[in-house]
């Protein structure tokens, strides 16, 4: 964190809803440079003092110059969609040095399909070797070594309203966790720690799958019992997939795991929940995605989760059902029948 006149300067890459919320929290503890790729976004923020319905802290200043941001900030929070993350890192890499600390807030995964294609084909098994978390990409594309992630039940709108919330900073380095906690400390925002960065990243990604399913249940008006069943059984599927990819099971029972799962499965502020709800009301998936202002990461995560389950032999009825709904246009009635009649009957089988 570089200083000018004893003022700490933090960097945030990505001016979406969550990136903006993070920038405003950081501004309580120092100066902030917020990067937006498009000049029209910067002009709008500077003219109105607002972005994504959030009033900007006056200590947040805008830029579309990555080189300048990297030169002025030693601790940087990238918060961009996973589909754009590698390209963003490639653009920033020439200006990043080993002294930088990067703590990303992106809940997504990239995949390198085994057939060499650019996109994962539906129903093709993939292993951990083909999967890249955002921290993997940071390490692959830059000389940065001190990497962390920010994840938890962090609905941007509630954070922007000043409502109490908490998050987890995960890193293999205590130094990264300490710097992140110092940067984000706030009476309204509690910051916990974890050394299982892989587990925290996977928890933040896989819960998006269950949020879509919860939105479907909500749209079908199937009640709270069904939602409770979905969250508990969905947690089991998340744990199985996460353990297969190298995460420790404990992380999924903390704030970044079940905490985030409950929040996104229970709130219409969740983009993935909204996708499921609109699907249940009869809207076409392509139309839903085209009309959403921000990316719902869970849609492509369903495809990846299905491929991982195929490779590792994991039985995951919720993942399977969502895959059939999203990619094979299976009807809601048939999907519910499958979920209620599949042959898995042991409770908490993810401990075995």
Question: Comparing C-alpha atoms, which of 160, 113, 166 is closest to residue 308?
Answer: 113
pLDDT tens track, the chain, 352 positions: 554 445 789 999 999 999 999 999 999 999 999 999 999 999 999 999 999 999 999 999 999 999 999 999 999 999 999 999 999 999 999 999 999 999 999 999 999 876 666 677 777 899 999 999 999 999 999 999 999 999 999 999 999 999 999 999 999 999 999 999 999 999 999 999 999 999 999 999 999 999 999 999 999 999 999 999 999 999 999 999 999 999 999 999 999 999 999 999 999 999 999 999 999 999 999 999 999 988 889 999 999 999 999 999 999 999 999 999 999 999 988 888 888 887 766 676 665 5
Given 146, 161, 195, which residue is the final one in a domain? 195
Whether residue 212 is found in the same domain as residue 170: no
Residue that has been written with the tokens 């509690």 in this structure: 190
Report pLDDT for 345. Answer: 64
Of 107, 207, 300, 303, catalytic? 207
CA dist 300 and 76 (Å) reads 27
Given 163, 195, 227, which residue is the final one in a domain? 195
Which CATH number characterizes residue 236's domain? 1.10.1040.10
Whether residue 39 is found in the same domain as residue 132: yes
Residue 55's DSSP bridge partners are 50
pTM of the model: 0.92
Whether residue 29 is found in the same domain as residue 171: yes
Whether residue 167 is found in the same domain as residue 222: no
Whether residue 318 is found in the same domain as residue 225: yes
CA dist 102 and 143 (Å) reads 11
Given 131, 163, 195, which residue is the final one in a domain? 195
Whether residue 148 is found in the same domain as residue 226: no
Whether residue 206 is found in the same domain as residue 191: no
Whether residue 78 is found in the same domain as residue 185: yes
Whether residue 183 is found in the same domain as residue 253: no
**Is 178 annotated as catalytic?**
no
Whether residue 136 is found in the same domain as residue 229: no
Residue 336 Cα distances to 213, 280, 333, 341, angstroms:
11, 12, 5, 9
Whether residue 138 is found in the same domain as residue 208: no
Which CATH number characterizes residue 66's domain? 3.40.50.720
Question: What residue numbers bound the domain in which 148 lies?
Answer: 3-195
CA dist 202 and 281 (Å) reads 29
CB atoms within 10 A of CB 284: 11
Report pLDDT for 3. Answer: 46
Report pLDDT for 200. Answer: 98
Helix or strand run (H / E) with residue 170: strand 165-171
Whether residue 137 is found in the same domain as residue 240: no
Report pLDDT for 146. Answer: 98
Q: Could you tell me if 76 and 70 are in contact, meaning their C-beta atoms sit under 8 angstroms apart?
A: yes
What values do phi and psi take at 270, rounded to 5? -80, 130
* Domains identified in the chain, total number: 2
């Amino acid at each position: 964190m570089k200083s000018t006149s004893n003022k700490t300067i933090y960097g945030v890459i990505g001016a979406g809803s969550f990136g903006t919320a993070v920038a405003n929290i950081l501004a309580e503890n120092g100066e902030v440079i917020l990067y937006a790729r498009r000049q029209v976004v910067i002009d709008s923020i500077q003219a109105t003092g607002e972005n994504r319905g959030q009033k900007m802290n006056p200590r947040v200043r805008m830029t579309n110059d990555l080189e300048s941001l990297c030169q002025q900030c030693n601790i940087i929070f990238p918060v961009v969609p996973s589909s754009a993350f590698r390209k963003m890192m490639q653009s920033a890499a020439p200006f990043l040095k080993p002294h930088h600390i990067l703590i990303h807030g992106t809940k997504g995964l990239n995949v390198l399909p085994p057939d060499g294609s650019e996109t994962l084909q539906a129903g093709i098994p993939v292993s951990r070797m083909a999967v890249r978390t955002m921290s993997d990409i940071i390490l692959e594309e830059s000389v940065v070594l001190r990497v962390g992630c920010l994840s938890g039940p962090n609905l941007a709108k509630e954070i922007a309203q000043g409502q109490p919330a908490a998050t987890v900073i995960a890193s293999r380095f205590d130094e990264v966790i300490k710097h992140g906690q110092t940067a984000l400390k706030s009476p309204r925002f509690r910051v916990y720690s974890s050394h299982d960065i892989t587990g925290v990243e996977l928890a933040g990604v896989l819960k998006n799958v269950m949020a879509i399913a919860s939105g479907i249940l909500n749209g079908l008006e199937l009640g709270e019992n069904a939602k409770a069943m979905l969250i508990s059984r969905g947690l089991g599927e998340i744990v199985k997939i996460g353990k297969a990819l190298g995460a420790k099971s404990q992380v999924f029972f903390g704030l970044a795991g079940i905490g985030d799962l409950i929040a996104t499965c229970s709130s219409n502020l969740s983009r993935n929940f909204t996708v499921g709800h609109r699907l249940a009301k009869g809207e076409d998936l392509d139309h839903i995605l085209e009309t959403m202002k921000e990316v719902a990461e869970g849609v492509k995560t369903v495809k990846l989760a299905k491929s991982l389950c195929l490779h590792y032999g994991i039985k995951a009825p919720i993942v399977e059902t969502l895959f059939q709904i999203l990619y094979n246009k299976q009807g809601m009635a048939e999907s519910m029948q499958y979920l209620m009649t599949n042959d898995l009957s042991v409770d908490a089988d993810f401990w075995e």
